[in-house]
Amino acid sequence: MRTPKKKRLYLVLACLVCLGGAVALSLAAFSSSLTYFLSPRQVAAHAPPAGQSFRLGGIVQMGTVSTSVSNDTPTTRFAVTDGRAAVNVVFTGLLPDLFREGQGIVAIGSMGPGGVFTADEVLAKHGADYMPKDVEQELKASGKWDPRFGPPPDASAWNDMKVKDGT
């Protein structure tokens, strides 16, 4: 009964069952938990349907951060920009230490009523000079930054930069 052939059959069966299970689980999870990374410009052009979770990456626009406290819980409103478009964000909870105006951040959440992005989580990168890749591309595309001529412009200057309507 316990021939090597039979043993191998058991082994192959066990592997197949497990592999099949892993693939099925992955596919099921992939379809529900993939989140796309969008820049403010993409959101302005095609806002995803309300309730669909995505990541919004950009720079916190200067002079837009305001915090209000209701019921002991702080709520922060700010705008995230990529130099071409800005999206208003509302977030209830604690912001990371590195969060400040002009800082590159990634917010995870979905579009809420009135075109305001409701963030469940806000991440700031550890490096102070971090810039989301997408923002970098946007800056280059909009002509505000040419890497050949040195480091990117200070984020505080972006607001006042003329936004080309190249979209």
Partner 1 sequence: MIPELGHFCLAMAVAIACAQGVVGIAGPTLKDPRALAAAPVLTLLHFTAILLAFLALVWAGVVSDFTVENIADFSSSSTPLLYRITGIWGNHDGSILLWCLILSLCGTAVALGGRQLPASLRARVLGVLGLVSCGFLLFTLSVSNPFTRIWPPPLDGAGMNPILQDPGLAFHPPVLYTGYVGFSVAFAFAIAALIEGRIDAAWGRWVRPWALLSWCFLTAGITLGSWWSYYTLGWGGYWFWDPVENAALLPWLTGTALLHCSIVVEKRESLKAWTVLLAIATFSLSLSGTFLVRSGILNSVHSFAAAPDQGLFILVLLAITIGGSLLLFALRAPVLAGSGIYAPISRESALILNNIFLCAIAAVVFAGTLYPPFVDLLFGIQLSVGAPFFNQTVLPLAGPIILAMGVGPMLRWKRADLLPVLQRLWLAGAVAVLVFIILTATKHIIAALGLAGGAWVVCSALTDLAERTRLFRAPLGTALGRFFALPRAAIGATLGHIGFGVSVIGIAAMTLAVQKVVVLKPGQSTMLGGYAWTLRDIHDAPGPDYTQRVADVTVSDDGKAFMTLHPSRRFFTAQHVITSDAAIRTNGFQDIYVDFADEQDGGAELRLNRHPGAPEIWFGGLIMALGGVFSLSDRRLRVGAPFRKRLPGGAEA
The answer to whether 11 contacts partner 1 (rule: CB under 8 A) is yes
Please state, in angstroms and rounded to a whole number, the distance separating the CA atoms of residues 110 and 50.
6
CB of 43 to partner 1, least distance (A): 13
Residue 48 binds partner 1, judged by CB under 8 A: no
Interface mask toward partner 1 for 84-103; x: CB under 8 A: --------xxxxxx------
DSSP assigned state of 26? H
Judged by beta carbon, residue 113 or residue 127, the one nearer partner 1 is 127
Site for partner 1 in 13-42 (CB under 8 A): 14-15, 18-19, 21-22, 25-26, 28-30, 32-37
The amino acid at 106: V
Contact (CB, 8 A) for 83 and 163? yes
How many residues touch partner 1 under the rule CB under 8 A: the total is: 43
Q: In this structure, what DSSP letter does residue 123 have?
A: E
Identify the residue among 46, 69, 149, 162 touching partner 1 (CB under 8 A): 69
The count of other CB atoms within 10 Å of the CB of residue 95 is 20
Query: In the set 52, 67, 156, 167, which binds partner 1 (CB under 8 A)?
Result: 67
Neighbouring CB atoms inside 10 A of 31's CB total 8
Closest-CA residue to 80 (of 34, 42, 127): 42
> How far is 34 from 123, CA to CA, in rounded Å?
18
Question: Which parts of this chain interact with partner 1 (CB under 8 A)?
Answer: 2, 4, 7, 10-11, 14-15, 18-19, 21-22, 25-26, 28-30, 32-37, 55, 67, 69, 72-74, 92-97, 108, 123, 125-128, 130, 133-134
